[in-house]
Amino acid sequence: MNGINPNAIRAFTSWVLVLCFWLVANFGFCQTPKGNAAKGYEALTERAFVPGQFPRSQIDNAWKLWGLSEKPANYGQLFRERYGLSEAPYPNKGLPMGLKASRMPFGSDGASLDCLTCHGGSLLGESFPGLGNTMLDLQAIFEELSTKGTKPIRTPYTFSNARGTNEAGATAVYLGGLRNPDLSPRLPWRNLGLHDDLCEDVPAWWHLKRKKTMYATAEAEAASVRSIMQFMMHPFNLTSAFNREEDTFRDIQAWILSVEAPKWPWGLDSGKVSRGEVVFRENCSRCHGTKDHYPNKVIPLDEIGTDKTRYAGIEPAFGEFYNQSWFSKERNGWFGDGYKSQRSGGYQAPPLDGIWATAPYLHNGSIPTLEHLLNSKTRPSVFTRTFRTNEADYDRVKVGWKTISPAEGITDSALEARKIYDTGKSGRGNQGHTFGDGLTPAARGDLIEFLKSL
């Protein structure tokens, strides 16, 4: 230390500390605004972010397309069951959760989709905002409600092929093709790689707080507010609407981060739970983490072996559009100007909190229960379910929704055909993720008991 003056070291250190403090205060964390969860819930449940898509008169008269001769007394209930919507657990002007009263482009009464169409599910008969809606028939909603008549309309691409899943990715790709990077409208439509067979199962919102990257393929940053605004690309929303609503969506994101996983409502065998935890640690936690630590791992497609259609179905052309566009230019302090999407080469091993409540499983909803997931030889290749979520519809042993073998001959209408999940169809493969196959039945039973406790 000869020759170095300790006072100079002290002075230098304090100078560095002051500089760091100033940088952080001016450009770092302090610049990232925080959302307000309560305001976010208000926005989610009270506001429409796209102009009316469905005339109110059609919502009130859709029974005319159902082959009925008069309006049934329990119309509201039949309406919810046909389209896979639940009662709104908040005031919603007589509409179910997932439809929001709004004005049609020329001013008449109408309704729009909102986030809860897909992200508002139902569990044991109770509506549950933040749980993926695995009952939804989005194709029927567009065909039968966006008309003003007694014949279903033809949609420009398929909104859902298998009931309970949807083609949200295709919607982003289709609508992105009508925008320039600054989100001003463009014509003619540009094909950014439209595929409508990705068969997406909607993830539960309570996972977002644990994730660094989001979507099944982990190709977007979980912190991005603008990414979840892609839903607003309705052709009538101008660029100014996106800028105006960014703070609202920050609030919505804050509410999403506050959603908690539901607890298994029945008894658990604590001996089995602790034995199951050991099985989990030995076979599963290298990818899925533990209760306290979530590793955010992406597993390459060939290693996980699950259906690749979802991964391949969002093409680099869309990624390039996204990365040039307003969506990726979110300001985030001094060290970066946005959240770019990136190719990941695989699927993210999701957190497993509340996994009992989010059947069916995998990114494409191809596996009805945990028992089937963890014993691949037993997975059904064609199945249907009641599309209700009461206790009677839930399988507490296999853990997931009860399956029914489809009766012959009920596939004559497209609506009935969508209720049948056929794993032989494109995007719906149920292969891969065979990590439970080598377990003994006893170890698998213990593991499932542990998974119920998460």
Query: According to CB under 6 A, which residues from 7 to 46 bind ligand HEC?
Result: none
Q: Is 421 in the site for ligand HEC (CB under 6 A)?
A: no
Quote the least distance from Cβ 211 to ligand HEC, whole Å.
6
Q: Which two tokens stand for residue 449?
A: 């008991």
Q: Which of these segments, 51-59, 206-214, 333-341, 421-429, binds ligand HEC (CB under 6 A)?
A: 206-214
Q: Is 214 in the site for ligand HEC (CB under 6 A)?
A: yes
Q: Contact letters (x/-) for ligand HEC, 293-312, by CB under 6 A?
A: ------x----x-x---x--
For residue 11, count CB atoms less than 10 angstroms from its CB and return exposed for 0-12, middle for 13-18, buried for 19 or more.
exposed
Q: Which of these segments, 12-20, 35-43, 52-60, 286-294, binds ligand HEC (CB under 6 A)?
A: 286-294
Tell me the angle at which helices 441-452 and 270-283 cross, rounded to the nearest 10 degrees.
Answer: 100
**Partner residues linked to 348 by β-bridges:** 298
8 Å CB contact between 122 and 131: yes
Q: Is 202 in the site for ligand HEC (CB under 6 A)?
A: yes
Residue whose pair of structure tokens reads 């640690």 in the numeric block: 281
Quote the least distance from Cβ 427 to ligand HEC, whole Å.
11
Output 24 or 161, the one with its CB closest to ligand HEC: 161
Q: Which of these segments, 162-170, 234-242, 336-344, 404-412, binds ligand HEC (CB under 6 A)?
A: 162-170
8 Å CB contact between 320 and 383: no
Q: Which residue type sits at 16?
A: V
Per DSSP, 201 falls in state P
Helices then strands, counting H and E runs in the chain, come out as 16, 13
Q: Is 162 in the site for ligand HEC (CB under 6 A)?
A: no
Output 118 or 194, the one with its CB closest to ligand HEC: 118
Output 158 or 411, the one with its CB closest to ligand HEC: 158
Residue among 328, 358, 389, 430 that touches ligand HEC (CB under 6 A):
358
Residue among 112, 166, 328, 384 that touches ligand HEC (CB under 6 A):
166
**Partner residues linked to 154 by β-bridges:** none
Residue whose pair of structure tokens reads 């020759």 in the numeric block: 3
Among 275, 120, 134, smallest CA distance to 205 is for 120
User: Considering Cα of 296, then 301, then 303, then 306, what sign does the dihedral take?
Assistant: positive
Query: According to CB under 6 A, which residues from 374 to 403 bind ligand HEC?
Result: 374
Q: Is 445 in the site for ligand HEC (CB under 6 A)?
A: no
Per DSSP, 11 falls in state H
Beta strands (DSSP E) in 334-443 are 346-348, 382-383, 394-395, 400-401, 421-422
Quote the least distance from Cβ 437 to ligand HEC, whole Å.
9
Q: Is 349 in the site for ligand HEC (CB under 6 A)?
A: yes
The DSSP result for 107-160, as a single string, is SSEEEEE-HHHHHEEEETTEEEETS--TT--HHHHHHHHSSSSSSPPPPSS-S-
Output 85 or 118, the one with its CB closest to ligand HEC: 118
Q: Is it true that the peptide bond before 105 is cis, omega within 30 degrees of 0?
A: no
Q: Which residue type sits at 359?
A: A
Output 62 or 448, the one with its CB closest to ligand HEC: 448
Residue among 163, 195, 363, 418 that touches ligand HEC (CB under 6 A):
363
Quote the least distance from Cβ 3 to ligand HEC, whole Å.
56
Q: Which of these segments, 32-40, 68-76, 354-362, 414-422, binds ligand HEC (CB under 6 A)?
A: 354-362
8 Å CB contact between 159 and 83: no
8 Å CB contact between 156 and 226: no
Would you call 432 helix, strand, or coil by DSSP? coil
- Size of interface with ligand HEC, in residues (CB under 6 A): 48
State how far the Cα of 121 lies from the Cα of 366, in Å rounded to an integer: 18
State how far the Cα of 287 lies from the Cα of 346, in Å rounded to an integer: 13
Report CA dihedral (260, 264, 266, 270) to the nearest 10 degrees.
Answer: -120
26 contacts: CB under 8 Å, gap ≥ 6: 334
Q: Which of these segments, 69-77, 122-130, 336-344, 430-438, binds ligand HEC (CB under 6 A)?
A: 430-438
Query: According to CB under 6 A, which residues from 84 to 143 bind ligand HEC?
Result: 113, 115, 117-119, 138
Output 175 or 228, the one with its CB closest to ligand HEC: 228
Query: According to CB under 6 A, which residues from 231 to 260 bind ligand HEC?
Result: 231, 252, 256
Q: Which of these segments, 164-172, 379-387, 390-398, 415-423, binds ligand HEC (CB under 6 A)?
A: 164-172
Residue among 82, 100, 211, 398 that touches ligand HEC (CB under 6 A):
211
Residue among 170, 192, 199, 373 that touches ligand HEC (CB under 6 A):
373
**List of residues contacting ligand HEC (CB under 6 A):** 113, 115, 117-119, 138, 166, 168-169, 200, 202-203, 207-208, 211, 214-216, 228, 231, 252, 256, 283-284, 286-288, 299, 304, 306, 310, 347, 349-350, 352, 355, 358, 361-363, 370, 373-374, 433, 435-436, 447, 451
